[in-house]
């Protein structure tokens, strides 16, 4: 219960107004610890309520120790603009009954206007690293008074190539500050640098492995032959499934554009979210989706990062995500805060191995589903008979005629296991800070765009 957390009355009033009564496990554990002033490393799955877990103890601390002449007291760094908006909105809601102010500093908005926001001296700044680093370079802000630094979705910032900026920012912050790092996983090798350089004797809280199955999400696969078959399956599902809001993922931008056109043609109220949209277009689409003016959103992974729309109850993977972590992030968009959801993935013969690897990674086998009248030819790989054959046998049953292309290759298993969940290429940063490519475009280059 929130009332048992010894939070300031103004904050309890706000949580009650928001309808928060029970704390989520990460809030239950992280809030009291953060209130002691310790540095924390926290991993908990998407949708588990991490935002309140770092905002509430920070706001509490500021209410207990007023510092009217202080500069910025808390800085929250997040990977995407969308997420920054959501965090600042939550902060405003929690601070409603206080005089504390928050500000958002993200790319794509007027630099001079942002400078004027600093002069108002907000207690909390929520920002994406690229733009904030530019402000620090330009001398428009300093964080010498900072009391709490929060790195939210640190794994995503790492994957998006933003860590250099993050480290530059953390170096310029008050060394006496408290640092709270949140991540879906703490096992990311690249995080070690950030942890060593930004945190002091942190306490680790591993709430639940990010691999834990989302028990309230039904996870299904439908076998598909090709794109044409997938189009038919998608149209059928959008017409016949029961849902409030559906989020459809593709791996490529062109595919997202094509599908949103096709689904609109088939009388769906569909919109599209992909990395090329301007901030204004993006806000417009998100607004339509939030207000239920459209109920289908077709998105690429990068564009969908940080989406927090409460009542998404159907996620469709038109393309299988490229790794286990992306799968977890995609399905985490549904079933938030214990709502029920369904995730349906289309799997062609080319995606079979990926599906199997993701199942191993999340330790959960998908439920197989077929749709009457739309069953394809691909039924999964044929059974391999191992009866007494040695692994070294050249004549493998599954490949002797060369016609069994759908068969998963057992010989690659070890490598599969090692690499699943990891990015395919090291993240590297572009000198210019501007690149047209994002990982979801070509599948290989990490996004390097400043946000």
By the criterion CB under 6 A, which residues form the site for ligand ADP? 20, 22-24, 27, 44, 46-52, 308, 310, 336-337
Contact between 50 and Mg ion per CB under 5 A:
yes
β-strand pairing of 124-127 with 148-151: unpaired
Nearest Cα to Cα of residue 318 among 390, 392, 226: 226
| DSSP bridge pairs for 153 | none
Task: Report what 80 binds from Mg ion, ligand ADP, none; CB cut-off 5-8 Å by kind.
Answer: none
Task: Report what 24 binds from ligand ADP, Mg ion, none; CB cut-off 5-8 Å by kind.
Answer: ligand ADP
* Nearest CB to ligand ADP, comparing residues 23 and 300: 23
Q: List, in sequence order, the alpha helices (H) in 95-184.
A: 111-119, 129-137, 154-159, 163-171
- Rounded least distance, CB 49 to Mg ion, Å: 8
* Nearest CB to Mg ion, comparing residues 50 and 355: 50
Give yes or no for a contact between 150 and 101, defined as CB atoms under 8 angstroms apart.
no
Contact between 329 and Mg ion per CB under 5 A:
no
- With CB atoms as reference, the residue minimizing the distance to Mg ion is 50
Nearest Cα to Cα of residue 306 among 326, 329, 287, 335: 329
Give yes or no for a contact between 161 and 445, defined as CB atoms under 8 angstroms apart.
no
- Rounded least distance, CB 60 to ligand ADP, Å: 15
- Residues between 165 and 184 with contacts to Mg ion, criterion CB under 5 A: none
* Nearest CB to ligand ADP, comparing residues 23 and 438: 23
The answer for residues whose C-beta is within 8 angstroms of residue 205's C-beta and 6 or more apart is 26, 29, 30, 33, 40, 41, 42, 43, 44
Give yes or no for a contact between 87 and 128, defined as CB atoms under 8 angstroms apart.
no
* Nearest CB to Mg ion, comparing residues 211 and 232: 211
- Rounded least distance, CB 43 to ligand ADP, Å: 10
- Rounded least distance, CB 132 to ligand ADP, Å: 20
Contact between 336 and Mg ion per CB under 5 A:
no
Task: Report what 250 binds from ligand ADP, Mg ion, none; CB cut-off 5-8 Å by kind.
Answer: none
The answer for residues whose C-beta is within 8 angstroms of residue 450's C-beta and 6 or more apart is 107, 128, 130, 131, 433, 434
- Rounded least distance, CB 31 to ligand ADP, Å: 10
390 burial type by CB count under 10 A (0-12 exposed, 13-18 middle, 19+ buried): exposed
Give yes or no for a contact between 384 and 395, defined as CB atoms under 8 angstroms apart.
no
Q: To 10 degrees, the CA torsion angle through 367, 373, 376, 381?
A: 40
Task: Report what 357 binds from ligand ADP, Mg ion, none; CB cut-off 5-8 Å by kind.
Answer: none
- Rounded least distance, CB 129 to ligand ADP, Å: 18
Number of residues that bind Mg ion (CB under 5 A): 1
* Nearest CB to ligand ADP, comparing residues 106 and 184: 184
Q: Which stretch binds Mg ion (CB under 5 A): 42-50, 216-224, 377-385, 401-409?
A: 42-50
Neighbours of 1 (CB within 10 A): 9
* Nearest CB to Mg ion, comparing residues 87 and 163: 87
| DSSP bridge pairs for 277 | none
- Rounded least distance, CB 9 to ligand ADP, Å: 18
Task: Report what 48 binds from ligand ADP, Mg ion, none; CB cut-off 5-8 Å by kind.
Answer: ligand ADP
- Rounded least distance, CB 52 to ligand ADP, Å: 5
DSSP string, 53-91: HHHHHHHHHHHHS--TT-S--EEEE-S-HHHHHHHHHHH
Task: Report what 337 binds from ligand ADP, Mg ion, none; CB cut-off 5-8 Å by kind.
Answer: ligand ADP
* Nearest CB to ligand ADP, comparing residues 44 and 328: 44
Neighbours of 329 (CB within 10 A): 24
- From CA 207, how far away is CA 162, in angstroms rounded? 25
Report the interface residues with Mg ion, using CB under 5 A. 50
């Amino acid at each position: 219960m929130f009332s048992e957390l010894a939070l300031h009355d103004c904050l309890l009033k706000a949580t009650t107004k928001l309808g928060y009564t029970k704390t989520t496990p990460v809030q239950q554990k992280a809030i009291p610890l953060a209130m002691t002033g310790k540095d924390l490393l926290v991993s908990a799955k998407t949708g588990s309520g991490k935002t309140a877990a770092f905002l509430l103890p920070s706001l509490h601390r500021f209410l207990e120790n007023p510092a009217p002449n202080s500069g910025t007291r808390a800085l929250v760094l997040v990977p995407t603009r969308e997420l920054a908006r959501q965090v600042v909105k939550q902060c405003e809601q929690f601070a409603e009954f206080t005089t504390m102010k928050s500000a958002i500093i993200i790319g794509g908005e007027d630099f001079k206007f942002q400078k004027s926001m600093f002069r108002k001296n907000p207690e909390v700044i929520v920002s994406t690293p690229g733009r904030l680093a530019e402000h620090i370079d330009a001398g428009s802000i300093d964080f010498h008074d900072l009391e709490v630094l929060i790195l939210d979705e640190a794994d995503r910032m790492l994957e998006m190539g933003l860590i250099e900026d993050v480290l530059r920012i953390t170096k310029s912050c008050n060394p006496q500050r408290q640092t709270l790092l949140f991540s879906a996983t703490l096992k990311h090798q690249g995080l070690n640098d950030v942890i060593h350089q930004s945190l002091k004797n942190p306490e680790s809280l591993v709430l639940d492995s990010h691999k834990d199955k989302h028990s309230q999400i039904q996870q299904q696969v439908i076998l598909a032959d090709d794109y044409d078959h997938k189009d038919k399956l998608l149209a059928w599902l959008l017409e016949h499934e029961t849902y409030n809001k559906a989020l459809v993922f593709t791996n490529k931008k062109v595919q997202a554009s094509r599908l949103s056109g096709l689904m609109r043609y088939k009388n769906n109220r569909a919109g599209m979210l992909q990395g090329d949209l301007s901030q204004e277009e993006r806000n417009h689409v998100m607004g339509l989706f939030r207000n239920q003016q459209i109920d289908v959103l077709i998105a690429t992974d990068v564009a969908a990062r940080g989406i927090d729309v409460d009542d998404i109850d159907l996620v469709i993977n038109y393309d299988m995500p490229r790794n286990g972590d992306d799968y977890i992030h995609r399905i985490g968009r549904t079933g938030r805060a214990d709502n029920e959801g369904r995730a349906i993935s289309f799997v062609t013969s080319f995606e079979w191995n990926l599906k199997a690897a993701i199942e191993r990674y999340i330790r959960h086998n998908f439920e197989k589903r077929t749709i009457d009248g739309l069953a394809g030819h691909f039924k999964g790989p044929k059974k391999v008979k191992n009866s007494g054959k040695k692994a070294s046998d050249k004549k493998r049953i599954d490949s002797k005629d060369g016609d069994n292309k759908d068969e998963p290759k057992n010989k690659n298993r070890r490598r599969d296991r090692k690499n699943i969940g990891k990015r395919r290429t090291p993240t590297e940063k572009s000198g210019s800070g501007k690149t047209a490519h994002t990982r979801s475009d070509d599948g290989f280059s990490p996004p390097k765009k400043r946000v």
